[in-house]
Copies of this chain bind each other. A is one copy, B any other.
Amino acid sequence: MSKNLHVAIVGATGAVGVEMIKTLEKRNFPVGKLTLLASARSVGKTLPFRGSDIPITELKEDSFAGVDVALFSAGGGISKQYAPHAVQAGAVVVDNSSAYRMDPDVPLVVPEINAADIKKSRGIIANPNCTTAITLMALFPLHQEFRVKRIFASSYQAVSGTGAQAIEELRAQVHAVTAGQPVEKKVYPHQIAFNVLPHVDSFLETGYTKEEMKMQNEGRRIMHHPTFKASVTCVRVPVYRAHSVAVNAEFERPVSLKDAREVLSQAPGLELVDDPAKAEYPLPLYVAEQDDCQVGRLRLDCALDNGLAFWVAGDQLLKGAALNAVQIAELI
């Protein structure tokens, strides 16, 4: 990109919004002007960007005049309501919510996988679900080599995926349990401190949650693989900001560990961390605040023909959200 751009962030005060600002700065994105939008509640606050304090302004339908790129991360309802106004004002929207992910007119993009889809955009580009994006960073290179048929996966999702309030809820509950005080629940239906909740997003008639089906639904669009199947159990764990996923994957072609390792070690945005003898494998605590996802615990699956089991982890706020959105913006 040759000129400096006017960038707007919708939901600037949220956990992802704050990371978007940091990511724009860290990656030296050509920002000419930065507009930070949020609800009226946040007006009066400021957030730092390149040494200045940028004031929060209230999100309105006419907030997008002159904006080149609008990064949305304020929930599906806000995206549905305001993204069309941003597009009408001439902005390209990168939407981190689930609002447009299954819209056939909206590309759903992980830049390392399907950057070319961005060209099909009519103004909005969707950023995928965090658990899906992180899993596909390892699965897609293997798919290219061995052709994936289906996966079985279980997630270990950090509270950052729910937002800033959930991070605070975990902190407060840990304090209460440690002090022997009663635990308060506002964000989650059950205590998350010292517990795990097999409940992320709302439940469908089938018994799966919406979150669980995103792996298959979004995975098919991103990988251009309409018969891909994914049976997932999504679980919230008392970790602050990175997600992990245990995957059993079945492929069409015979797999070898040697080839799998080679493919994964060369994959963009991914680090192979796999030396069990030295207790080296991806850990959410260490991958937090890292741009690259990590994959490890690689083994031939003992219950599948042409199967691989592996463990992938990534920073939910970065590759799972803000980083991927800014990477898309860089390609526009």
Contacts and interface: CB of A to CB of B under 8 A. Distances in A.
Contacts of A207: 257, 276, 297-300, 309
A108 interface: no
Interface string A275-314: 0110101111110000000001111111110010101000
Interface stretch (A7-15, A67-75, A194-202): A194-202
A198 B285 contact: no
A95 to B, nearest CB: 26
A231 B302 contact: yes
A238 interface: yes
Contacts of A16: none
A239 interface: yes
Contacts of A298: 207
Contacts of A284: 195-196
A263 interface: no
A150 B283 contact: no
B240 A194 contact: yes
Number of copies: 2
Interface residues of A, number: 57
Contacts of A286: 190
A174 B194 CA distance: 10
A242 to B, nearest CB: 9
Contact of A198 (B151, B178, B199, B281): B281
Interface string A218-250: 000000000001110101011110001010100
B199 A285 contact: no
24 contacts: A151-B303, A152-B248, A154-B246, A156-B156, A190-B279, A195-B239, A195-B284, A196-B239, A198-B281, A198-B297, A199-B281, A203-B276, A206-B299, A206-B300, A207-B298, A207-B299, A207-B309, A208-B302, A229-B302, A231-B303, A231-B304, A233-B246, A233-B248, A235-B244
